[in-house]
Structure 1
Amino acid sequence: MSAPVEVDLPHQLGREEARRRIERSFGKLSGWIPGGQVTEHRWEGDTLTFTVAAMGQRVHARLDVRDALVHARIELPPMLGMFAGQIGAALKANGPKLLR
């Protein structure tokens, strides 16, 4: 595994409302990843873990919903590690859309 991509997405919604909005808009996530598809996802308390299949690779991700931010952690396989900077930038740009 390459180093994980970690991004904090600040919000002023409170934990419960942030989680509700993520649940409501989670389906949009696949559309942000060309050829990608969410293959599994589950909530454990205020943590959403999910797997995205893209370009023949599996990417594991985790969203920790907190009172004033959502901490995203994406574990990239070595083959996709070279795209870590681009993935982090895309997450910072698109991540707040999950909270709308």
Structure 2
Amino acid sequence: MSAPLVVSIPHRLGREEAVRRLKTGLGRAAASIPVMQVEEERWSGDTMNFRIRALGQVASGQVDVSEDHVKVEVVLPWLLQRFAEMAQATIKKRGQLLLTKDEGK
């Protein structure tokens, strides 16, 4: 098995607000990526375990929400590892949008 892809996204929202935004915004963020679908999203406190399907392959991971950052770890199957750099950039960009965007805008 390969090492997980890890992305850390800083924020200034506090743990509760970050969790709230992630819970309401992840579905919308995933829907905007046509080759990806979320198969499982399971929250336990401030941690979410997930499984996604992209290009016929399944990847799994975990999101840990802290007071000042969110850590995303994703284990990619070997066929998707060639897209790891692109996935890392996309996760960071979408995460920053969810965690910094003003609510009313």
Alignment TM-score, normalising by the size of structure 1:
0.91
Q: Which runs of 4+ in 1 moved over 6 A?
A: none
Q: Which residue in 1 is equivalent to 2:85?
A: 85
1 or 2, which has the higher helix percentage?
Answer: 1
Is the Cα contact below 8 Å between 2:29 and 2:94 reproduced in 1?
no
Deviations 1:19-56 (A, max 9, x none): 01111112113224332111111111110111111111
Supply the distance in 1 between the matched residues of 2:94 and 2:41 (Cα, whole angstroms): 19
Instruction: Write out aligned runs for 1:1-100 (5 A).
Output: 1-99=1-99, 100=101
Q: Which runs of 5+ in 2 are unaligned?
A: none
Q: Which has the higher contact order (CA 8 A, sep 6+)?
A: 1
Q: Which runs of 5+ in 1 are unaligned?
A: none
Supply the distance in 2 between the matched residues of 1:11 and 1:53 (Cα, whole angstroms): 27
Amino acid in structure 2 at the alignment position of 1:92: K
Q: Report the 3-state secondary structure (helix = DSSP H, G, I; strand = E; otherwise coil) of the residue aligned with 1:13.
A: coil
Is the Cα contact below 8 Å between 1:3 and 1:81 reproduced in 2?
no
Between Structure 1 and Structure 2, how many residues are aligned?
100
Amino acid in structure 2 at the alignment position of 1:47: T
Supply the distance in 2 between the matched residues of 1:77 and 1:94 (Cα, whole angstroms): 22
Alignment TM-score, normalising by the size of structure 2:
0.87
Percent of aligned positions with the same letter in both sequences? Answer: 43
Q: 1:33 to 1:3 in 2, by over 3 A?
A: farther
